[in-house]
């Protein structure tokens, strides 16, 4: 008796080999490379403090997570379906970055609360992020945000020497660069779609003059001829305006002289 073939659990729920994962899948917006084991980290408060800006700062991972979550919830129309899926996929990756940074901060001996330490703690607030209402504005803001995030991680890497933390930050940075590319592509598609819509709006106007039938064209020409003829007849029927007397008064004086000669 043949036994049924066993499915390989490692492939369950994944895309077919060689195919692109769905737009809303987190695997589309991450390199998928393995992160180092964080359990080897030893307490280092100074190093932990170097991670807080990328963790809970204004352009940190908590801001990124909330931005993409909000936008995914906001984009609900059929035309926005693709963009909403992109936002969802990036949101899942940013959330994993947030968790990884928080774990490093904890293992380095600090408290992974959502605040940047300083003279006064700067706790993360919901008013730190923008809330644009149109898709075009969202993608433009997101692209600017991701480029600033890339710069922030590059700056942090200049200060970090610990190998496990460095490797983790480098992998996060690679993901952020993927996000920039994905958003640039989305921005191009939105611009192209807007251009196509504008062309469709202009096309009917141009077509109206081209769609006139020969009969309509002849009728229009005949109407123009009748109008011009009527205008000519009206001009003929108007009484001629009297000639104005010459400003010098010479014709009037000459007529008076002739009358005087006849009387004499």
Residues at the binding site for Mn(2+) are 61, 94, 97
Nearest to 100 by CA among 29, 21, 177, 41: 41
Residue 63 CA from chain centroid, whole number: 19
Yes or no: say if 179 and 146 are a contact pair by the CB < 8 Å rule. Answer: yes
Nearest to 125 by CA among 114, 113, 117, 133: 114
Q: How far apart are CA 87 and CA 35, in angstroms?
A: 23
Nearest 10 degrees: Cα torsion 65, 184, 178, 49: -50
Q: How far apart are CA 109 and CA 102, in angstroms?
A: 11
**C-beta pairs of 71-78 under 8 Å, 24+ apart in sequence:** 71/138, 71/142, 74/133, 74/138, 75/135, 75/138
Q: How far apart are CA 87 and CA 183, in angstroms?
A: 9
Strand stretches in 56-153, DSSP E = 115-116, 122-123
Yes or no: say if 183 and 93 are a contact pair by the CB < 8 Å rule. Answer: no
Please enumerate, by residue number, every residue annotated as part of a binding site: 61, 94, 97
Is 116 strand, coil or helix? strand
Q: Is 79 exposed, middle or buried (0-12, 13-18, 19+ CB in 10 A)?
A: exposed
């Amino acid at each position: 008796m043949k036994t049924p073939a066993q499915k390989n659990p490692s492939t369950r729920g994944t895309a077919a080999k060689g195919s692109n994962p769905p737009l809303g899948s987190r695997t589309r917006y991450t390199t998928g490379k393995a992160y180092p084991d964080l359990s080897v980290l030893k307490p280092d408060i100074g190093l932990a403090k170097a991670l807080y800006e990328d963790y809970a700062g204004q352009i940190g991972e908590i801001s990124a997570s909330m931005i993409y979550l909000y936008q995914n919830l906001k984009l609900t129309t059929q035309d926005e379906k693709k963009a909403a899926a992109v936002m969802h996929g990036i949101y899942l990756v940013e959330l994993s970055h947030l968790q990884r940074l928080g774990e490093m901060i904890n293992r380095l001996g600090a408290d992974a609360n959502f605040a940047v330490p300083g003279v006064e703690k700067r706790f993360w607030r919901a008013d730190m992020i923008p809330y644009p209402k149109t898709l075009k504005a969202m993608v433009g803001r997101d692209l600017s945000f991701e480029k600033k995030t890339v710069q922030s991680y590059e700056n942090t890497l200049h200060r970090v020497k610990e190998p496990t933390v460095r490797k983790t930050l480098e992998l996060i940075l690679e993901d952020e660069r993927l996000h920039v590319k994905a958003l640039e592509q989305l921005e191009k598609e939105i611009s192209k779609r807007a251009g196509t819509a504008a062309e469709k709006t202009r096309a009917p106007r141009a077509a109206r003059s081209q769609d006139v039938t020969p009969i309509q064209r002849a009728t229009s020409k005949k109407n123009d001829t009748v109008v011009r003829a009527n205008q000519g007849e009206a001009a003929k029927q108007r009484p001629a305006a009297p000639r104005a007397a010459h400003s010098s008064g010479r014709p009037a004086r000459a007529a008076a002289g002739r009358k005087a000669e006849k009387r004499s």
